[in-house]
Structure 1
Amino acid sequence: MLLTRRTFLSTASAALAAPLTPRRAWAVNTLTLGDLRIDTLSDGNLMLPGSFIFDDLPENELQPIIEKYGLSAEQLTPPCNVTLLRDGTNTVLFDAGAGPDFQSTAGKLSEAMDAIGLSVDDVTHVIFTHAHPDHLWGLLDEFDEPVFANAEHMIGQMEFDYWTDPDTVSTIGEARTTFAVGAARRLGAIADSMRFLADGEGPLPGIAARLTPGHTPGHLAYEIAGPTPVMVLGDCIGNHHVAFERPDWHTGSDQDMARAAETRVALFDRLVSENFVITGFHLPGGGIGRAEKAETGYRFVEDL
């Protein structure tokens, strides 16, 4: 049986937030599968221009999607959900959040960890889906030391090689230059102790890395085995609206838009046919749910 639980936060600072900033109504969303517990921990949210996703999409088909999901075409505020797995032996974070240096509305992971009484010293493994700032920049503290000092850190070999390549900063494009500089600095700081993963490799028993490229060159999702399989998506399915309704569309949030679309189309087919539970970094309500086939495209179903 699947059980979900939310831990709610109510703070003065949230009440005084700007009108376009969503109130942080929850800190933790929980899924229990036998002896396995999976939490999604809120790292806050991002503030993005609508053009980051919507530019160059067909307006006559896009506008009904914007209206259906109550979106703003000018500004998007996607949540950031860090997945935590505990099996009685290991305490595993998938991604480390944004930390304090990316956006002021993100980097709130420590608050969510406090809500469940979890210390950074309790974390045994940090496994990265990819090296974008909202997933990676929480890796180091203000002294460039690992925040999760007791943990083993893992990332895809392809992803690491891309972000630490000196040519990346000059080829990634002006809009993402700071992404490249920030990733290279943080990954370089722990390169000697990092474990590198390949497609299909198991970072831990019962977990398999799945290459899901396009959003970044070496993006990995993680399949967690069990009677009810779970897929930690990262950003290979990056939102609950356009990505679900039209997974074949090329959107500007992906570095290789064509390959990302191919990845989404194939992945949705598998997620639905094999009845996966999914945890999505930017999906609503804590990000735990399922993908269901809709009349056109797919829909995200929360609250299992």
Structure 2
Amino acid sequence: MDAVPIDVLTETISRIFTASGLSERPSRVVAGSLVDADCRGIPSHGAMLVPMYVERIRRGSVSTAQTAEVVADLAAVATLDGRNALGQLTGDQAMRLAVAKSKEFGIGAVTVRHAFHFGGAFRYVLAAAEQGCVGLAAANTRPLMPAPGGAAPVVGNNPLALAAPVPGRAPIVLDMALSEAALGKVRIAAAEGRQIPATWSTDADGVPTTDPTAALAGMLLPAGGPKGYGLAVMVDVLTGVLSGGAFGAGVSGLYADTAVPNDCAHFFLALDPAAFGGTFEEQMRTFATNIANTPAAPGIDRVYLPGELEALRHEKARVEGVRLEPAVRSALIDTARSLGVELAIGGVR
């Protein structure tokens, strides 16, 4: 796979969104978010999403609004109506508000209802960490996983991310879907004709499968069994239930009917360490150093803090560019051409 420079890929995707009716600034924001995921080795939340986003804009289930509407605002908490705008735009807005509230009250919590997919959850917690805050972001999805012992999906794989700043280091970042694997990874495997591990998903009958096509008609399996299931349930509470938005089966699938709004919900939390009266920066530095200096097991070069591998991949991509899977590259090219967009990706025919 030939690598594409970050700025070139970002410009290509930005042009696609602009041609779809989005203004230039939000187009670049959303494009940057997707490319950032590819740079960090999270292709399930990268450029592969562009065709689906564009199709939803075309069919009207995603709006070209640039901001969410504030529907409730009381001291340290607020609720926004996302108005079916691209989730990166409303997510950025919500986390900025949560951080601002944390600087005033020590804590800021913001929910977003009537939202759309916001890309990688890491984006929002990193934004909080860059402001010196501990951040949390979560979203709900359509039901994709069964309850333990259940034969039907009842809860989404509801992504959850947390980050904490570390002086002199990249922030510690946890970003995980609460299924064993993200649905996007299954879609990539299906597009490439690859098998998946049997721990990722079941077929339509609830039997674990290595066939990604059968998996797309089945159910995802929760990470850690009942632990992942329980966390997913509570994320639905924090996002859909708490915001007054959709939850459970009220959330529509991203790919099922692109004319129907996704109508997911988001939750953002920011904590200002200064409000807790401790020596947060000093203790975080010591804590992170202790983990990083842990002796490695035989055959292992070193241990990594959560999020460190992704940060290293990002730095590498800044130099070497982004390597897109052939199926993703082809879909991106087809989408661009369908909109009459002049491709910024070099070397394609």
Same fold by TM-score, threshold 0.5 exceeded? no
* TM-score (normalizing by structure 2): 0.26
In terms of fraction of residues, the more strand-rich structure is: 1
TM-score, normalised by the number of residues in structure 1 = 0.29
Which structure is larger by alpha-carbon Rg, 1 or 2? 2
